[in-house]
Amino acid sequence: MYSFTNDYSEGAHPRILEALMETNLTQHTGYGMDEEHCGHARELIRREIGRPDASVHFLVGGTQANLTVIAAALKPWEAVICASTGHINVHETGAVEATGHKVLTLPDPDGKVTPAMVLEILDSHPDEHMVKPKMVYISNTTEIGTQYTKAELEALSHLCRQRGLYLFLDGARLGAALASSANDLTLADIAALTDVFYIGGTKNGALFGEAVVILNPQIDQDFRYMIKQRGGMLAKGWLLGIQFETLFTDGLFYEMAGHSSRLADRLRAGLEERGFSFYSRSVSNQLFPIFSDELIEKLSADFSFNIQARIDDSHQAIRLVTSWATREEAVDALLKALD
């Protein structure tokens, strides 16, 4: 049984574990305040994005990062706009609403927020009888494997700045986005175009960890208070520092995402060759082929994966995810099983 269920089914890249071993018995300052690793990792990230003024905070997971950032940025009556498929809207058990904020959505055929959607929501929220939209939340890659082009991100960013909205990019799968053959964005671009974003470690070869990068000082004010209050301040914070230090040394972050992307391309090509159609136009490491129920049952004997949606009486879209740890032979075996 081989799993294509997600990109976080294995532990971490061996270099990360080695780094943890090497430093294991060294005494460190807690709570992310150590210079050796957290400080160094912050420095590496600031350099990577070309923004020495950026504030970088390390959190354990994505839902935690989302709720902490959003609750820190918004006033009680302010709301966040996202795609109806957005992670915060669907897959976080109402974590944002639990901090008191409404999530405003419009249908999104391909998982992305467009300027037109933002404008439509702004127009329908004119006064104090409704919430006040104040932030746009996007994910790159999106929940259905699509991603933003530089032009799309620029357009959104321009609108947000014009209308006084924060732009927040959930980068749980930012590695996958940057490594995709369809990508034309850099981390520096993202830093230039957003108010806050994060770089996902969990889904790209760390044991856990998301590096929240805050470019807008208004959001950064007292941000550590918010981390602590929401239970996100790791006592042994240097464990996060060490992981991001390793990810951003010798390009390991890109190397792992590149592996994942290459295997996704191989899998996509194999699926296309065999004439399968797809649920979404994914260009990244999540693929959503449409299979017959019969084929799905047969595949399930040797491979595990999630069901995304039922398409018709006899077909469903499944989700296949590659990762830094996916073995080439597993991809080949899966394709072979389709013949």
Q: Give residues 114-153 in contact with a second copy (rule: CB under 8 A).
A: 128-132
Interacting span for a second copy (CB under 8 A) from 43-51, 150-158, 159-167, 230-238: 230-238
Express the helix, strand and coil content of the chain in percent, nearest 5 each: 40, 20, 40
Residues 205-224: x where in contact with a second copy by CB under 8 A, - otherwise, as a string: --xx-------------x-x
DSSP states along 19-67: HHHHTTTS---STT--IIIIIHHHHHHHHHHT-TT-EEEEES-HHHHHH
**Per-residue string for binding with a second copy, 263-292, x by CB under 8 A?**
------------------------------
Q: Based on the shown chain and the rule CB under 8 A, indicate whether residue 302 belongs to the binding site for a second copy.
A: no
Q: How far is the CB of 266 from a second copy (least distance, A)?
A: 19
- Closest-CA residue to 147 (of 285, 250, 21): 285
Interaction of residue 318 with a second copy, rule CB under 8 A: no
What's the rounded Cα separation, in Å, for the pair 194 and 162?
13
Count of residues near a second copy by CB under 8 A: 73
DSSP code at position 5: S
CA gap 139, 69 in Å, rounded:
14
Q: Is 195 in the site for a second copy (CB under 8 A)?
A: no
Contacts of 194 (CB under 8 A, 6+ apart): 157, 167, 168, 169, 215
Is the CB of residue 219 less than 8 Å from the CB of residue 191? no
What gap in Å lies between CA 47 and CA 240, rounded to an integer? 18
Restricting to residues 14-33, name those near a second copy by CB under 8 A: 14, 17, 20-21, 23-30
Choose between 79 and 187: whose C-beta lies nearer to a second copy.
79
Give the residue carrying structure tokens 């037109």.
116
DSSP 8-state code for residue 289 = B
Token pair in block for residue 69: 């950032």
309 or 338: CB nearest a second copy:
309
Of 66-74, 152-160, 279-287, 331-339, the segment contacting a second copy by CB under 8 A is 66-74
Tell whether residue 294 is a contact of a second copy (CB under 8 A). no
Binding piece for a second copy, criterion CB under 8 A, among 6-14, 46-54, 113-121, 163-171: 6-14
Taking the complex as a whole, the smallest distance from the CB of residue 43 to a second copy amounts, in Å, to 21
Pick the binder of a second copy from 44, 226, 257, 331 (CB under 8 A).
226
With CB under 8 A as the contact rule, which of the stretches 94-102, 138-146, 147-155, 266-274 interacts with a second copy? Answer: 94-102
Considering the rule CB under 8 A, would residue 85 count as an interface residue with a second copy? no
Check binding of 232 to a second copy (CB under 8 A): yes
Give me the DSSP letters along 150-167: HHHHHHHHHHHHHHT-EE
Q: Residue 109, interface with a second copy (CB under 8 A)?
A: no
The answer to whether 98 contacts a second copy (rule: CB under 8 A) is: yes
Cα–Cα dist 143/91, whole Å: 10
Among 46, 99, 262, 296, binds a second copy (CB under 8 A): 99
